[in-house]
Amino acid sequence: MGDPLSQMPRMRLDELLDELQARIDAARGTRDRVHSLLEAVVSVGRELELSQVLRRIVEAAALLVDAEYGALGVIGPDGRTLSQFLTVGLTDEETAEIGPLPAGHGLLGEVIRHPEPLRLADLGAHTSSHGFPAHHPPMRSFLGVPIRVREEVFGNLYLTDKRGGVEFDTEDESVISTLSVAAGVAIDNARLYEGSQRQQRWLRANAEITRSLLSGSARAEVLELIALRAQDITGSRAAEIATAVGGDGGLLVEAATGADAARRQGLVLPVEGTQPGAAWTAGAPVTTPKAAADPRYGADVLLPGEWGPAVAVPLGSEGASGRGVLFLARAAGEPVFTDAELEPLLAFAGQAALALELADRRRDAEQIALLEERDRIARDLHDLAIQRLFATGMTLQSAGRLVDHEDAAQRLTRAVDDLDETIKIIRSTIFGLRTKDRDGDNGLRARVARAVGEAAAVLGHPPRLSMEGLLDTDVPAGVADHVVAVLGELLSNAARHAHATRVAVALQAASGEVVLTVSDDGVGIPPQGRRSGLANLDERARSVGGAFELESPDTGGTRLTWRAPLRPVPARPAPRG
């Protein structure tokens, strides 16, 4: 049995060895953790796509501190709420059961309001905690750290439930704070790269539109190209170009691409209570985080519910004199439109305004050429045809005095009368050719757009509208009045009797006639129903040499077509009512 005093140095040596081993293990653990941190920094900095950078950041943060759940919340433009929320640790099924992603209230908002690291042993005990929504997994320990990009708080890292049931410690906080610095640099680089790429795409799109304009493409093709490129570059779900209709006719959606394009094309949007209308009136961009749920824009009843952040950019000059609006909408849950995106978008909208200006000037040039040709024809008719007919009539009248045969003399007199009547008809035609076009708010195009816009309140939804041809130039004034009256009657019938959920209006001036078609998906016209109104419309058509047709398509509903020739015809009195 050894001396207890001799065993004391050995015990002391064991303690020292144990302490040394612990320090070696700690140093080894620190080395491994530093190595993991460096790997995380390299992994985060390797990506250039912003979405991938954000995903790598939150995954690396959860791995470094051994957290079961992690999230990265991107702070929105208002500086108070979250515009984007990326998570790890939750399956897609769990995320769907939880419902809408958090907006940055409660405990998450605490880190937004006070951008400093926050570490809690029990997050439920904090005064800002509001509890969890239904189907949300329970969470206890919490670590929140802000991410700064050039002294601006970009977002926050949220980590919960350190594995093993232990709390997050100061070392965890230090590691995540270090990662957040590297994350800020990586986010800044990704945003710079994304901005340069986006700028190049805008430049290429502008060049493509310029080529299309110079090649003489049709107005509709250019507008569709503008909408497609804007939708693609901004990552939007849908894009629309709505142009101003004269007077208070509202905004006509001339081009629509992406989701619900077929349903939105041809809609007449009111200026009051719609986002495009607000941008058109203000002459400045208007944004919203949720297009379908913004109470300011409830007048657009056909906004799809899955549309999220949206922006409306005016085309052309400031104020209500602008030509229209470019409207873009992203899917729900996507990032809101930032100031960095609006600057190139405004320049692109200016290009769209140029497209509209050039298309309108080309159309004006075509109308001027048409009017000049009509003036030439009128001059030729007056200077050549009328003078020769008049001379022939004078000759016949003089010859009639030399004819002794009574029957022959009467025939010559009738021929002179016929020539007289022919001259009157030609003069009437000349007058019609030289009649100045009605423009501005009194044109047929504007009158029809106003009638369709006013019908939206009665129908409960805006009808679709499409117009083709030189409606303000080729359609005679009397026929135009009939078209407006018939359209009002048909829209009124659709509202009162059809019980339709969709109404489409098409007006076309081509092939020597004007054709108005109104179709709906309603209950149709019963065989024993009242048809006095339809008879009235038929009589209107016949009074100007036209026709009225009623069809019941196999798909249901009703299609009514009213047509009239563009050339003047002997008019009969139109029915009253």
151 conformational bin, left if phi > 0, alpha if psi -120 to 50, beta if neither: left
Contact indicator for 276, 269 with CB cutoff of 8 Å: yes
> What pLDDT does 3 receive?
57
- Other beta carbons within 10 angstroms of residue 217's beta carbon come to 17
In angstroms, the Cα distances linking 52 to 56, 59, 72, 152, 435 are: 6, 11, 12, 21, 65
Q: What is the pLDDT along the chain (577 residues), one digit of tens a residue?
A: 455 545 556 566 556 555 555 555 554 544 555 666 667 666 666 777 778 888 888 888 888 888 899 988 888 777 788 878 888 888 888 888 887 777 777 888 888 888 899 989 888 888 888 777 787 888 889 999 998 888 788 889 899 998 888 888 888 888 888 888 888 888 888 888 877 888 888 888 878 877 877 777 777 788 888 889 989 988 899 999 988 876 566 888 888 998 888 888 888 888 888 999 899 888 889 999 888 888 888 888 778 878 889 999 988 754 444 578 999 999 887 888 888 788 888 888 887 777 667 766 776 777 777 667 767 766 666 666 666 776 777 777 777 777 777 777 778 777 777 777 776 666 656 555 555 444 445 678 888 888 887 777 777 777 888 888 778 778 888 888 888 888 888 888 787 776 777 888 889 888 888 999 998 888 776 655 455 567 888 888 888 889 998 888 877 788 899 999 987 554 444 444 4
> What pLDDT does 517 receive?
92
Q: Which of 449, 480, 497, 422 is nearest to 252 (CA)?
A: 449
Angle between helices 477-493 and 532-543 (to 10 degrees): 170
Angle between helices 339-380 and 170-214 (to 10 degrees): 10
236: amino acid identity, one letter: S
> What pLDDT does 434 receive?
54
Give the separation between CA 467 and CA 241, rounded to whole angstroms. 16
Residue 563, both tokens = 């047509």
231 conformational bin, left if phi > 0, alpha if psi -120 to 50, beta if neither: alpha
> What pLDDT does 568 receive?
56
Give the separation between CA 59 and CA 87, rounded to whole angstroms. 9
> What pLDDT does 328 receive?
93
104: amino acid identity, one letter: G
Q: Report the DSSP pairing between strands 558-565 and 547-551.
A: antiparallel
Count CA atoms closer than 13 A to 401's CA, side-chain side: 5
> What pLDDT does 38 receive?
64
Q: Which of 94, 105, 109 is nearest to 144 (CA)?
A: 109
User: b/e string for 305-335 if b means 16 or more Cβ within 10 A?
Assistant: eebbbbbbbbbbeeeeebbbbbbbbbebebb
In angstroms, the Cα distances linking 280 to 40, 115, 225, 274, 284 are: 48, 38, 21, 10, 7
